[in-house]
Amino acid sequence: MSQIWRWGAGRATLPLLYPLAMAIMLWLLNRARRSFWLCALLALPGTLCHEACHWLVGKLLNGDPARFTVLPRREGHGFVLGSVALRNLRWYNAFFVGMAPLLLVPLAALLLLWRLRSQPVFGWAELGFVFLAANLLFAALPSWADVRIAARSPVGWVLLGGALAWGWMRVASPGTHAAGPGPSRLSVAPRLPPHATSKP
């Protein structure tokens, strides 16, 4: 069976099989939210990476991380899977610290590309990689607490405004794109309809 996936027609199916396995794994992780302990256990790799992103970006941007935990706890009607306490959240670093888990998206993509390029045999080991990639994507979404922290920083609003302005300029001016390769035309005289005459 493993030889079929490595050498046969199944190898062409792997690029389709991975997204399907990822979708199933993400669905299972989402369903696990109904159980406190099951969710905490299944999402532990992603929780660890999520909080590590907050901690590392806080450390790099002078956020002064003070406490790091991935011990789940109940809070109100929900539960918290992990947290990082920072002592120096300021206008210049709050946005980046809050949005830090988004760094897990390219990490998950790189993991999947690496596995697909290595011509894997789809088995238990590959399911483990799919589980890890799904965990990274599942944990990449900033929590509401993360969004509230990021929203306190004017840097985020400036970046968002700049991105929207750039996008609007790209959409609103479609004729300003550079022309592709081809013969250049030096003539600038307008073409006249057959029934029109040109007067000097």
The pLDDT tens digits for 138-174 are 999 998 889 988 888 888 888 888 888 888 888 887 6
The confidence score (pLDDT) of residue 15 equals 67
> What sign has the CA pseudo-torsion 63, 163, 51, 116?
negative
This prediction has a pTM of 0.71
The rounded distance, in Å, linking the Cα atoms of 67 and 62 is 15
Q: Rounded mean pLDDT of 179-188?
A: 45
The confidence score (pLDDT) of residue 122 equals 66
Question: Is it the case that residue 198 has pLDDT exceeding 70?
Answer: no
Q: What rounded mean pLDDT belongs to the chain?
A: 79
Question: Is it the case that residue 113 has pLDDT exceeding 80?
Answer: yes
The confidence score (pLDDT) of residue 176 equals 52
User: What are the domain boundaries of the chain?
Assistant: 17-165
Q: Rounded mean pLDDT of 48-60?
A: 95
The confidence score (pLDDT) of residue 7 equals 35
